[in-house]
Amino acid sequence: MSDRTVTTTVLTQVAARILLIPIFVVAIGIMIKGYVDIGDGFSAGVIASLGVALQVMVFGPEELTRLPVIQRAPKGTFLGLLIALLTAFVPAVRGQPLMTHWPPAGEAAIHFGTVEFITAVAFDVGVFLVVFGFGVGVTATLARAQERKSSMAGLFSRPGDAGEAGERS
């Protein structure tokens, strides 16, 4: 935001690159452990999208196109909403109140290790997808808007300001 043109240092770039995978691992971990420990799909979604935002801030918006998972995340918002809606409304079709989870209270659930497969977790995954898609989508939109703005910077500012948004130049 200052008048100097800011370039990211190699140190930042390396740190951002190295951190991406651990951030994702933490996010997934938080989501899976959600039912027994701190965190849930919402926090996981925010953490994962912060990881993506870090990449975009350091390397620019092209970074978004490199990983298919990230590229499709914004569309995932609606997939997530669909999953959540399904877990909410499928019970209604079966004559139960909305958001009745399966298996019912107290009954044993299918589990893999300590991870239990219950519809509440599916709902949480839906929440994760919505939040993650939202975070990535907003980051991407902002980053692209900045690129466009710097390409037509002359329209808005005096020549001296032209470089401010093109941080990587």
Residues in contact with other proteins by CB under 8 A are 1, 34-43, 46-47, 49-50, 53, 57, 74, 77-78, 80-81, 84-85, 88, 98-99, 101, 103, 105-106, 109, 116, 118, 120-121, 123-124, 126-127, 130-131, 133-135, 137-139, 141-143, 145-146, 148-149, 156-158, 161, 164-165
Using alpha carbons, list the distances in angstroms from residue 58 to 37, 69, 85. 32, 19, 36
Burial class of residue 139, CB neighbours in 10 A (0-12, 13-18, 19+): buried
By beta-carbon proximity to other proteins, the closer residue of 64 and 77 is 77
- Closest contact distance (angstroms) between CB of 107 and other proteins is 9
CB of 29 to other proteins, least distance (A): 13
Residue the block writes with tokens 């079966």? 94
Min CB(38)–other proteins separation in Å:
5
d(CA 117, CA 28): 15
- What is the distance between the alpha carbons of residues 6 and 47, in angstroms, rounded to a whole number? 26
Q: What angle do CA 150, 58, 26 make, to 5 degrees?
A: 140
Q: How far is the CB of 19 from other proteins (least distance, A)?
A: 14
For residue 88 the two structure tokens come to 């909410």
**In this complex, which beta carbon is closest to other proteins, that of residue 64 or of residue 131?**
131
